[in-house]
Amino acid sequence: MVCRLYVAAVVSPPAPLVLGAIFTYAIRKKFHADNPVRGVMRFADGRRERRLTDQEYRAIGTALENAAFDDMRPAVIAATKFMILTGWRRGEVLGLRWSEIDLDRRTARLTDTKTGFSMRALPTVACSVLQTLDKTGDLVFPNKVGEIMVGYRKSWLKIAKLGDLPDDITPHVLRHSFASLAGDLGHSEATIATLIGHKGHSITSRYVHTADAVLLAAVDAVADKTMKLMGQPNLNLESDQAQPRLRSDRPDIESAVWDGITYKEVFS
């Protein structure tokens, strides 16, 4: 069989990128034996990755508070917060299963990601988010009938509207912002890539069951900074946690407040 590949003279993406994709498809279909574009240097395309500003972090914190008061489903709010605190891909978060999580070791072992099997360190605050959820099935963030949340985009647009966020802020921007913030805090490129499961740097060994102390400390630092930027209490610091009071010391007036993770009753 003879396969002729035609490429337009003018293309928007860089030519090596387009040709590489074409030859990859041809190899998969057994039309061609190799990819002659492999190894060709690709020049920067001049695009700048979008990241959140400090004001936008605070706006997202406000949006999540408003979403809770607006009776948005807890699983939607929790999935969004988990996305912000981990830098995971949207599909990884929405497809997360309880069977993949070890809360005691603060480790997730994802069996099916864009890059295959991947192990991730979990921030303490993200574990706190998970602990507020009811286990109604294996999916951590299910839709109303217990299946994968396929309509999340509409929910995200609603959250963005509640925080008056710009239209160009997407779940991918949350991921890039996590990585950028990790860089601001001085973490290495390899550490950052491992935290977010970037291709070529994620922990893929099926014989490793626990994230090491370095990764746990790094992911905590980024998540804690994220919480601070969103104007939420840092649940890892004792000074930010409400101390229990004796029943005899508690006044009779109660109120419900948002603590950055869920609602809780406090005494004024």
Mind listing the pLDDT tens digit for each residue in 203-230?
A: 444 434 456 889 999 999 999 999 999 9
Domain count, the chain: 2
Phi, psi of 140, rounded to the nearest 5 degrees: -75, -40
Q: State whether 210 and 80 are in the same domain.
A: yes
- Angstrom CA distances, 239 to 28, 89, 179, 243, stand at 57, 32, 27, 9
Number of residues assigned to the chain? 268
Q: Examine residue 79 and state whether it is found in any structural domain, yes or no.
A: yes
pLDDT value of residue 19: 72
Q: Examine residue 214 and state whether it is found in any structural domain, yes or no.
A: yes
Residues of the chain with pLDDT under 50: 5-12, 45-46, 201-209, 237-259, 262-268
Q: State whether 28 and 85 are in the same domain.
A: no
Q: State whether 28 and 58 are in the same domain.
A: no
Q: What is the CATH number of the domain that holds 145?
A: 1.10.443.10
Token pair belonging to 124: 């303490």
Containing structural domain, residue 194: 54-237
Residues above pLDDT 70, as percent of the chain = 70
Q: State whether 34 and 163 are in the same domain.
A: no
pLDDT value of residue 265: 39
Mean pLDDT of the chain: 79
pLDDT value of residue 6: 46
Residue 73: closest CA among 8, 4, 132: 132
pLDDT value of residue 33: 79
Q: State whether 36 and 131 are in the same domain.
A: no
Per residue in 157-187, pLDDT (tens digit) is: 999 999 999 999 999 999 999 999 999 999 9
pLDDT value of residue 155: 96
